[in-house]
Amino acid sequence: SIQDNLYNRALEYRSANTVQIDSLDEFKKYFTPKDADKPEIHGGFAMCHFVDEPEIDEILKELKVTVRCIPFEGNEEPGKCIFTGKPSKKRAIFAKAY
């Protein structure tokens, strides 16, 4: 059906455009436009360990990135926040804000 096709295309797009990032350098590289004068549209999502601390707001603001989702289930994985280095139990999903 049309709905099934649209759903499957959306799942494929999400999978193809979602990356797992484990360092602040990787995060910055992923979200920094290659051409600052004419920034390209960036339709990707990054899953990163995250602890909500005020000190990371400036980094997110500078890169024009926001937290899009902190999944409730299926995301339990101990690690360290890429921004603060503090222990984290989950990954959050980040994306560019336009």
Report the C-alpha gap between 45 and 57 in whole angstroms.
18
Domain assignment of residue 6, yes or no: no
The answer as to whether 1 is a domain residue is no
Residue 90 within any structural domain of the chain: yes
Tokens of 64: 């024009």
What pTM was estimated for this model as a whole?
0.81
> Does the residue 29 lie in any domain?
yes
Those residues with Cβ within 8 angstroms of residue 47's Cβ, 6 or more apart along the chain or in another chain:
18, 19, 20, 21, 91, 92, 93, 94
Mean pLDDT, consecutive 10-residue stretches, the chain (98 aa), reads 94 91 93 72 85 89 90 81 92 88
Q: What is d(CA 48, CA 96) in angstroms, rounded to the nearest whole number? A: 14
Residue 5 is assigned to a structural domain of this protein: no
Q: Which domain holds residue 30?
A: 19-96
Q: Say which CATH number the domain at 80 has.
A: 3.30.110.30
Does residue 84 sit within a domain? Answer: yes
The total domain count for the chain is 1
